Structure 1
């Protein structure tokens, strides 16, 4: 689907386009103004996304979030979200960044309501050790 939008063979309500990225309105918006920031070069997930491209996505999302806030669209806040993998809610396997205007009481639950526990320092240190960059 995103490939068709990027190639221009599918319609999209585009709000930004440059050499690397395209941003357009989500077909199933959480709220009006829900945008997707999409790299033009296919990357199914974050692991495939070149760092240089990823580094362009967040600043564009910031500018788009500011535009949303200045617009007449209802907006009490903004969520930026990347779903990476099916278990994380990814349903379109072309990496993309959601820019979601939020309105109080819109029903999207943040923080997520899951059964969590406070981690021990030992647990956190163990995880940090597993994730530190290798020498």
Structure 2
């Protein structure tokens, strides 16, 4: 079982900020911005490359959850970044898709 599945199942503690039928959001343990929340689907999907049409709703829920948390954190109007890394070369270290919600400071481009 992957790290994020263990967090989802309560086997590893996390500071949960949102939970619903389709996804879980929790604080990143190594934040790169004042707001750095990870949003994962409850369903284990290793990478974006493994998505199938039936995952359309859950992926949409990840983005809706990011927007909700951004509004709650007061960063929706000033701007925030959502990122999903896919594969080794993109920096994916946990192979359970997850959306990074980053905000609370100016972001630069390119990201690195």
TM-score interval, smaller chain: 0.7 to 0.9
Distance of 1:113 and 1:86 partners within structure 2:
16
TM-score scaled by structure 1?
A: 0.71
Q: Which runs of 5+ in 2 are unaligned?
A: none
Aligned to 1:81: 83
After the TM superposition, which parts of structure 1 deviate over 6 Å for at least 4 consecutive aligned residues? none
| Matched residues, number | 106
TM-score, normalized by length of structure 2?
Answer: 0.84
Question: Unpaired runs of 5+ in structure 1?
Answer: 115-135
Q: Displacement, 1:11? A: 0.3
1:112 aligns with 2:76: no
Aligned residue in 1 for 2:72? 67
Q: CA RMSD in A?
A: 2.0
Shift of 1:33: 2.3
Alignment of 1:1-135 (within 5 A): 1-49=3-51, 50-69=55-74, 76-104=78-106, 110-112=108-110
Q: Per-residue displacement from partner, 1:43-71 (whole Å, max 9, x unpaired)?
A: 0011223222111111111111111116x
Q: Contact 2:34–2:105 (CA<8 Å) still a contact in 1?
A: no
